């Protein structure tokens, strides 16, 4: 078994004359929570976009579960077993919570577009399977009582939980969470941290996290990677990062 589920190998990203990432390398171990931190503009979301195929890196490689996924399109990378949430909530306002989760089952369907348009038997089976899976996820997240509600009827923190549930629907091995705690109250953050831990321990999933809330990062992370101006300046366990002079200087401007 490959210990490193994700390996980022000397990834560089250039936008014209601007170098957003300078040869960044790190690994995310299977079953662990790895966090990427750094000041605003450090290149964290650019790194996520390179991993998920939203951007095509100028150079370097991304390996997932031992497979080189560099250059694959986002939908192809998703099918390898990588799911992602975004900084801004991306739920469908006109759909119920249950329907939003069902969308996350898209990569498991066996029916084609034509079968779906006429609701053929195979499409019906896919629909029933997605319905059961979505209900199971809501039960697991203890959100069953809001299955029929629209996102706009829910508090912000609960909407974030629903988006987290939709990522779980993909059956991914690795989930990338881009600033999942942004805009949350302290209580909402604690709830989401507990959910992530429960998913990690119960389902054995691996998480790669970008987050600005340092108490959350230090509490939830098994390993931390620090970037500044597109370069990796440190990595290690939380206790090491807290004492690292380069990290302190990056955040405090020393």
Q: How far apart are CA 152 and CA 85, in angstroms?
A: 18
Q: How far apart are CA 206 and CA 32, in angstroms?
A: 5
Structure tokens at 147: 């299955």
Structure tokens at 69: 């996924």
Q: Please say whether the beta carbons of 123 and 111 come within 8 A.
A: yes
What's the pLDDT at 215?
92
What's the pLDDT at 126?
75
Give 107's strand partners: none
Tell whether domain 4-252 is in CATH 3.30.70.20: no
Can you tell me which residue has the tokens 């939003």? 100
Q: How far apart are CA 240 and CA 17, in angstroms?
A: 34
pLDDT tens digit at each of 254 positions of the chain? 458 999 999 999 999 999 999 999 999 999 999 999 999 899 999 999 999 999 999 999 999 999 999 999 999 999 999 999 988 888 899 999 999 999 887 555 444 443 444 456 666 777 888 899 999 999 999 999 999 999 999 999 999 999 999 999 998 999 999 999 999 999 999 999 999 999 999 999 999 999 999 999 999 999 999 999 999 999 999 999 999 999 999 886 65
Three-class SS state of 163: helix
Q: Please say whether the beta carbons of 40 and 49 come within 8 A.
A: no
What's the pLDDT at 106?
59
What's the pLDDT at 112?
43
Radius of gyration of the chain (CA): 19
Separation of first and last alpha carbons in the chain: 43
Half-sphere exposure of 25 toward its Cβ, with a 13 Å CA cutoff?
Answer: 6
């Amino acid at each position: 078994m490959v210990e490193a589920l994700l390996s980022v190998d000397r990834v560089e990203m250039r936008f014209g004359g601007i170098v957003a990432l300078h040869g960044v390398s790190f690994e995310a171990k299977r079953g662990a929570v790895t966090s990427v931190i750094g000041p605003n503009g450090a290149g964290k979301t650019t790194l996520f976009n390179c991993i998920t195929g939203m951007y095509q890196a100028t150079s370097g490689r991304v390996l997932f579960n031992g497979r080189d996924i560099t250059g694959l399109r986002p939908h192809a990378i998703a099918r390898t077993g990588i799911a992602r949430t975004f900084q801004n909530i991306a739920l469908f306002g006109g759909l119920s919570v249950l329907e939003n989760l069902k969308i996350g089952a898209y990569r498991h369907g066996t029916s084609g577009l034509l079968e779906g348009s006429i609701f053929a038997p195979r499409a019906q089976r896919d629909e029933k399977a997605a319905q059961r899976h979505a209900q199971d996820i809501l039960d697991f997240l203890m959100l069953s009582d809001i299955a029929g509600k629209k996102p706009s009827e829910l508090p912000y923190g609960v909407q974030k939980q629903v988006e987290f549930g939709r990522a779980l629907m993909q059956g991914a091995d690795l989930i990338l969470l881009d600033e999942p705690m942004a805009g949350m109250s302290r209580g909402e953050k604690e709830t989401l941290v507990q959910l992530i831990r429960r998913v990690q321990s119960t389902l054995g999933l691996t998480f790669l996290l970008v987050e600005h809330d340092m108490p959350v990062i230090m509490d939830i992370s098994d390993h931390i990677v620090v970037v500044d101006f597109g370069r990796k300046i440190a990595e290690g366990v939380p206790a090491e990062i807290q004492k690292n002079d380069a990290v302190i200087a990056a955040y405090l401007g020393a």
